[in-house]
Structure 1
Amino acid sequence: MTVMKVVQYGDKILKRHCKKIENIDKDILKIVKNLEDTLDNCDGIGLAAPQIGIAKRIIRIDLKDGSQPISLINPEITKKIGKEVSIEGCLSYVGYEGEVVRPKKVYVEGMNTEGKKVEYFAEGLLAKAFCHEIDHLDGIMYMDRARKVYKLEE
């Protein structure tokens, strides 16, 4: 088990556009495992590879509600439906939350760890998590999209 340090706001890697993965090998599977282990030890519901210092297109989402966690390689939003305002936080920007307009529903495709194409239709919290984590892969943080950002009280 390897729990990685979560990269914090201001680190240049969080603004980089991540590289697409051409081939799933043991190094890529190790990154997936590190994302799993790190997210399992955090309060958040999603984590992207750049948040553990790796500029690759991999995300991990675990809503921690009993649903199956998702590890996705080269994720892409293929369709967005509707809009709504949500409150978001980020493991890379601790102590703040912001109001962000996100799609109500999204279609997402990518590859699983076996290299097979997978597709998801997501709404609610899962849709927001997909949007948030895929943004990280393009160097976008929720504060870049936020209408307002608030400092949380202790």
Structure 2
Amino acid sequence: MPFMSIRLIVKHPDAVLRERAQEVTKFNSNLHKLLDDMADTMYDADGVGLAAPQVGILKRVIVVDVGDEHELIELVNPEIVLAEGEQLGPEGCLSIPGLQGDVKRSNRIVIRGQDRNGKPIQYESTEFLSRAFQHEVDHLNGVLFIDTAESVYEARKPEENRQDGE
């Protein structure tokens, strides 16, 4: 098994979570290592998405895996170019443990960016994948789900309680 590198997830109210991330201009081994580490960190924390600012790096980089046929998606310099429809649903965040909120998002989006080598890529998504993309892009702009949630409440997931030893 390849060596895994788990990074520390920055927690709210750390100021780095409120800053706008910078565009990536160098597609090199440092970026590849960041993407690999972000994926390892996301999986280790049982997340479905992670943005570079959440590991303290102010770069426009996200990883998403909602457990569908796409598996792991890496996007560098992502940009939502089309958004339509509406959905309201619960969201949580690895940087805000213990809280969830009901957030209104576009139901269908088209997102463009680059892969780890700088090649242009595009995804069209709906439902949960669409929500995950929008949540992570918000992170790149210093926006957290608690800023836009219609309601915020304590997260209640039995599997999380067991992991916490309760």
TM-score (norm. length: structure 1): 0.96
Amino acid in structure 2 at the alignment position of 1:84: Q
Query: What is the CA distance between 1:23 and its match in structure 2?
Result: 1.8
> Which secondary structure state, in structure 1, belongs to the residue aligned with residue 150 of structure 2?
strand
Pair 1:9-2:16 in alignment: no
**For 1:7-46, what aligned pairs fall within 5 Å after superposition?**
7-46=10-49
Query: What is the CA distance between 1:68 and its match in structure 2?
Result: 2.1
Query: What are the ranges of 5 or more consecutive residues in structure 2 without an aligned counterpart?
Result: 162-166
Q: Distance in 1 between matches of 2:66 and 2:151?
A: 24
1:92 aligned residue (92, 95, 110): 95
> Which secondary structure state, in structure 1, belongs to the residue aligned with residue 129 of structure 2?
helix
Query: What is the CA distance between 1:152 and its match in structure 2?
Result: 2.6
Pair 1:139-2:142 in alignment: yes
Partner of 1:71: 74
RMSD of the TM alignment (CA)? 1.1
What are the Cα deviations for residues 63-113 of structure 1, in whole angstroms up to 9, with x where unaligned?
134532101100000010111111100000011100110000000000001
> Which secondary structure state, in structure 1, belongs to the residue aligned with residue 24 of structure 2?
coil
How many matched pairs?
154
Partner of 1:103: 106
Q: Distance in 2 between matches of 1:111 and 1:75?
A: 7
Q: Distance in 2 between matches of 1:126 and 1:152?
A: 20
> Which secondary structure state, in structure 2, belongs to the residue aligned with residue 79 of structure 1?
strand
Query: What are the ranges of 5 or more consecutive residues in structure 1 without an aligned counterpart?
Result: none
% identical aligned pairs:
36
> Which secondary structure state, in structure 1, belongs to the residue aligned with residue 104 of structure 2?
strand
Query: What is the CA distance between 1:42 and its match in structure 2?
Result: 1.3
Larger radius of gyration: 2
Moved more, 104-113 or 60-69: 60-69
> Which secondary structure state, in structure 2, belongs to the residue aligned with residue 133 of structure 1?
helix
Conserved 8 A contact 2:62-2:136: yes
Structure 1 runs of 4+ aligned residues shifted over 6 Å read none
Pair 1:149-2:152 in alignment: yes
Amino acid in structure 2 at the alignment position of 1:49: A
Q: Distance in 2 between matches of 1:101 and 1:66?
A: 24
